[in-house]
Structure 1
Amino acid sequence: MLSTFLNVFFWIIFVYFFLSVLYLFILSVSGKLFYKKGKFAATTPSKRIAVFVPAYKEDGIIVSTANSMLKLDYPRELYDVYILADSFQEETLIELRKIDVEVIEVKFEKSTKAKALNVGFNKIAKEYDIALICDADNVLAKNFLRKVNDAFNANAKAIQGQRVAKNMDTSYAILDSCSEGINNHIFRKGTNAVGLASAVIGSGMAFEYNTVKKVLSEIHAVGGFDRPLQIKIVEQRIKIEYLEDALIFDEKVDSLQAFQQQRKRWLSSQFVYMKQFFFPGIKQLLKGNVSYFNLAIANNLVLPRAYLILLLPLLVVITFFLNSGWFVYFLITGILYFVTLAVALPIVLVNKKLFNAILKMPEAVIAMIMTAFQMKNANKTFIHTVHTKTEVSNTLYNQGTE
């Protein structure tokens, strides 16, 4: 009886983990072999671009961010920068108004990026071709807008740039950078390589202006607004293109507490939106919209990386000591998963600092596991990540800002 129960249990567990790992492996290898970099030819700047920077209590960095946005290699008359200033100090607002950016003050009982963006869209009377959404800590590579212009001149309707680390000054920042690099490869580069829409990241993403204005007006998310945004975009059969050569620098968390808070928000939104879009995802799959199914269901069915890193080796050990025939199956699955990560990890990030940072991985994995017990109301509460870095200190990618 017990033997039968264990066999059924391990069969269910194995099928789930193996299919999850196989899915990730296929995308990882596809990103390495089939993604076409530089697929959009250089064109003359012509698209009018509105750069939106929703910012909540970012007094320490926003002036620096705004100034960096004005130094891009793109005709100044073709783009405007809109700072959506939520709960800023008066001195900060005065400084912002001294430079050539548009400041739109917003204030809410419960602040969210979606609310700030909707206010911004509703207050802007000028016409644009493209809306680019950034975070308050972001620094765009000087050629970023040119890359976006090239893609839209080739009839792209939505793009996600490559977000890389602004700083790699602590072990947690390095681990965070590696995690994002792997996600970029699998969920953006890999999905594009197999013909599907890229996932977005919440910043460094650009859309056809009127399309995203309408879509955002229907979104009232507190956390993870980019998840319903991408779903509603691909519902219209719009393919989100991943631009690996369009760099956007993003501040990485530098402490265990910040790492845990950020992951709590991400984990909560993953499960909330999988539940919300599960049945619509099945319906869209039956209609042939595989990108919708992939973003709504397949992406979200896979456990976060920390859980897989912990659970797969644990299952290997358990099945080994049980003298179970399942040992070999879980061992192969575990090896395949770590091969997947090795293929997806950008080679530029492999250095001595990474090996030192790996020593912090057990602590980071435990912190990630603990977030599962702290998710109550996480997606109903605005969780703000504090930013302090005003300069790009990551020399691995600095050529993008020069």
Structure 2
Amino acid sequence: MKTLLLLPISLIALYLFLSAVYQLALAIAARYFKPVKQTQAREVSKLVVLVPTYAENEVILHSTKKNLTVSKPEGVEVDYLVIADQVKPSTCIQLCSMGAEVLEVKFDQSTKVKALQAAMDYLKGRNYDAAVILDADNVMESNFLLETQSYLNTGYSLIQGQRLAANSNSDFALLDGLSEAANTEMLCKGANVLGFSSKLSGSAMVFDYSLFEEAIPTLKAIGGFDKELELYFTSGEHYIQYAPELAVWDEKVASAQAFSKQRGRWLQSQYAFLRKSFLPALKSLKQGNVDYFHKSLQLALPPRALAPFLLVLVVFLGILLDNSALLMMGGVGFLSLMTSYVLSLSSQLGAARILIIAKALPGLFLSSIRALGWMSKAKKQFIHTKHQVVQS
């Protein structure tokens, strides 16, 4: 009986251990990330900013007002299009009066993919050089478009910018912001240093227009369209560059319920795209496309908030079952995971924040368990994260 129990437990422990060591490798690599040397490889003259917006009124008015004041590159035409789904007519009128273009849309089942597909149909024939994708709450840093032009002119076609936490008004908002910062260090910076594509984050993204125009009709995601885009681009051997200079302020979820819903949506899309992509990525690996395989394999990572608790559980099982292999995998895995976070967040982890994190851990664990329950709902319908106006 003990032997029968050991096999599945050992396999799970090995999976958690390898995931933790992988994250540590990325965190170490991220320390060697260097800014891109910018050169003149092309001339960008026309950009469009796309902002899919679902049932947001105050938030989209606030962000649009801010974003329309950012510095624009000299000689570059910049259009700003809000794709308004279930947005009040009065809000659309105000957006137009600010100088934004508004495309009103309505779907039986609303998704960000459908909104962006409608936008690309609407913009046919305008011949942009690149598209910038923002969330409704995103506020660009004043130099965002200037840096966008520089990266595009250097020759980068697919770029992920930096999403800075606009709020830390609750324990969960702080944890969400730190989680994003750690992900950025490991999955954006670390991946680039090792020669792999950065992850995409769903906003603060810049794409060569022709590449995005080819990609968008193929997408079917209800949630997690950024994962689908990552796989599409890397399967075609297109590299994604991380650019910290392209910064936006992004609202973080402030409640346990919002955290659970958001993570449930993310986990559902993550594992759904892992199932869809793994065999094609394995086949592509045989043809030399390591980046695509790496991107697919990355989707196998365990839920970030649950992994530390599961590794501690492995340690206890190792002690209980008197199994040194379990004890080693759980202990080394836990230390590797914690070290990866310390390396990734070293500049943000003061004593006060460590105390807040420690206090919030039980709630984080429970919310992560609840997130698993949201996965089945996220498979059938888009779960919207409601935003609030945050002064950035």
The TM-score with structure 2 as length reference comes to 0.94
- Which residues of structure 1 form unaligned runs of 5+? 393-402
Residue 7 of structure 1 deviates from its aligned partner by 4.5
**Deviation readout 1:212-264 (Å, 9 max, x if unpaired):** 01100111211111111111111221110000222111100111111111111
CA contact (8 A) 1:47 1:130 kept: no
Could you say if the C-alpha distance between residues 19 and 205 of structure 1 is closer, same or farther in structure 2, counting changes exceeding 3 Å? same
Residue 351 of structure 1 deviates from its aligned partner by 5.2
Could you say if the C-alpha distance between residues 60 and 160 of structure 1 is closer, same or farther in structure 2, counting changes exceeding 3 Å? same
Provide the residue aligned with 1:19 in structure 2. 18
CA contact (8 A) 1:45 1:146 kept: no
Match of 2:65 among 64, 67, 89: 67
CA contact (8 A) 2:14 2:329 kept: no
CA contact (8 A) 2:73 2:149 kept: no
1:3-402 → structure 2 map (5 Å cutoff): 3-32=2-31, 34-40=32-38, 46-75=44-73, 78-124=77-123, 125-296=125-296, 298-326=297-325, 327-345=327-345, 347-350=347-350, 352-392=352-392
- One-letter amino acid of the counterpart of residue 63, structure 1: L
Residue 274 of structure 1 deviates from its aligned partner by 0.7
Number of equivalenced pairs: 389
Give SS of 2:48's match: strand
- One-letter amino acid of the counterpart of residue 306, structure 1: A
CA contact (8 A) 1:46 1:78 kept: no
- One-letter amino acid of the counterpart of residue 81, structure 1: Y
Alpha-carbon distance between aligned partners in 2 of 1:97 and 1:3, rounded to the nearest angstrom: 68
Aligned-residue Cα RMSD (Å) equals 1.9
Give me the identity figure in percent: 32
Alpha-carbon distance between aligned partners in 1 of 2:122 and 2:79, rounded to the nearest angstrom: 14
| Shift >6 Å, 4+ stretches | 42-45
Residue 308 of structure 1 deviates from its aligned partner by 0.6
CA contact (8 A) 1:63 1:92 kept: yes
Give SS of 1:374's match: helix
CA contact (8 A) 1:306 1:369 kept: no
Alpha-carbon distance between aligned partners in 2 of 1:342 and 1:308, rounded to the nearest angstrom: 15
Alpha-carbon distance between aligned partners in 1 of 2:120 and 2:240, rounded to the nearest angstrom: 21
**Deviation readout 1:126-171 (Å, 9 max, x if unpaired):** 2210101000000111111122211111111100001110111111
The TM-score with structure 1 as length reference comes to 0.92
Could you say if the C-alpha distance between residues 351 and 90 of structure 1 is closer, same or farther in structure 2, counting changes exceeding 3 Å? farther
CA contact (8 A) 1:175 1:358 kept: no
Could you say if the C-alpha distance between residues 376 and 191 of structure 1 is closer, same or farther in structure 2, counting changes exceeding 3 Å? same
**Deviation readout 1:358-378 (Å, 9 max, x if unpaired):** 311221122112222332241
Give SS of 1:97's match: helix
Could you say if the C-alpha distance between residues 56 and 320 of structure 1 is closer, same or farther in structure 2, counting changes exceeding 3 Å? same
More deviation, 3-12/237-246: 3-12
Residue 342 of structure 1 deviates from its aligned partner by 1.1
CA contact (8 A) 1:43 1:150 kept: no
Residue 334 of structure 1 deviates from its aligned partner by 1.4
CA contact (8 A) 2:130 2:209 kept: yes
Residue 329 of structure 1 deviates from its aligned partner by 3.5
Residue 41 of structure 1 deviates from its aligned partner by 5.2
CA contact (8 A) 2:13 2:311 kept: no
Give SS of 1:206's match: strand
CA contact (8 A) 1:53 1:84 kept: yes
Alpha-carbon distance between aligned partners in 2 of 1:113 and 1:330, rounded to the nearest angstrom: 39
Residue 354 of structure 1 deviates from its aligned partner by 4.6
Provide the residue aligned with 1:398 in structure 2. none
Alpha-carbon distance between aligned partners in 2 of 1:380 and 1:346, rounded to the nearest angstrom: 39
Residue 284 of structure 1 deviates from its aligned partner by 1.4
Provide the residue aligned with 1:397 in structure 2. none
Alpha-carbon distance between aligned partners in 2 of 1:45 and 1:363, rounded to the nearest angstrom: 50
